[in-house]
Amino acid sequence: MAYFGVQGRSCPDISALDEITERFSSADGPGHWDIASCKDQAGFFNLMAIAYWSSAEQFERWKQKSQFNIWWNSTERESGEYGFFLEIVSPQPANFETIFSDRSSPEGVAWLAEEMSGEMYEHGYWGSARDRLPVAQNNVLRGTRKTHSRTASGKRIVLSGSNNLCLIRSGQDWSATQQEERQKYLTEVEPVLHEGMDFLRDQGHTVGCLSCRYMQVVDPKSQVLAEKTFGLAHFTDMAALERWAKSHPTHVAIFGGFMRYVKELNFNIALRLWHEIVVVPEESQYFEYVNCHQGTGLLRQDSGDLL
């Protein structure tokens, strides 16, 4: 799972990702990719291509064959108006889980799957995500607090990983909603969700969240914002994510608002929800930031902003 980012004080045009996305069609390219954008806590715009490969080996072959490595490592990336970043996690199948409210609408890593299961029993109670994660059945997945950085050059920073880092991408698709449901979602549910994501973005260090981006999907052909959003967050470990989800006022408000929404619509909703959770060992992570501000992604927790 590779997250390619372009960052600027003004919103980058989608063409700023062309040097990356045009290479996706070359040999050993990703099985699926999305484009999304957000504004970070420093007021910078971030445009990202999020791509999924079926194996780390295929990804490495793609980087070489497409000459991405040559482009990425060029000193030209270290100057100009844009910053660039690359955040990579390479989990084994036992280290991730993904779940959907509508099995006919795959997202993210599910595009690489051969099939999708039916309804699951491990859902709808606190701790169910851990019960769905195969590796968690015999491992508490305790994480470490910080990563360590080394500077490859003045404008290039590489971060090493931290054990059992937990990444969640949790999405909402309201494109199929109509009238009353759409109004309720946009005026009652989404603002509360947005507030919770802003908390994790700005104050997440108080609950073990190292980075959070609340992103909106961009259609790569029309370049129009789609009616899809997702939170993309890194936590020190799965326990930190679970604590925030179960008891923090911001997530309690999100959960409560959604339950009211569902009940008021008599459980007949067109809103589609999904998420993927990944728990990754230290050696299966790679983070590099080029010409980016110090609050970008996981750089922030390495720059002294976290306790």
* pLDDT at residue number 158: 92
- Residue 25 in any domain: the answer is yes
* pLDDT at residue number 255: 95
List strand residue ranges (DSSP E) for 90-190, in order: 96-100, 149-153, 156-159, 165-173
Split the chain (307 residues) into runs of 10 and give each run's mean pLDDT: 97 94 97 97 97 97 98 93 96 94 93 90 92 95 74 82 95 97 97 98 95 96 95 97 96 96 96 97 94 93 48
- Residue 258 in any domain: the answer is yes
- Residue 307 in any domain: the answer is no
- Residue 65 in any domain: the answer is yes
User: Does pTM surpass 0.85?
Assistant: yes
On whether the CB atoms of residues 29 and 23 are closer than 8 A, the answer is: yes
Active site residues: 275
- Residue 203 in any domain: the answer is yes
Q: How many CA atoms lie within 13 A of 75 on its CB side?
A: 2
Interatomic CA distance for residues 246 and 250, integer angstroms? 10
* Structural domains of the chain, count: 1
* pLDDT at residue number 307: 32
Domain containing 244 equals: 2-302
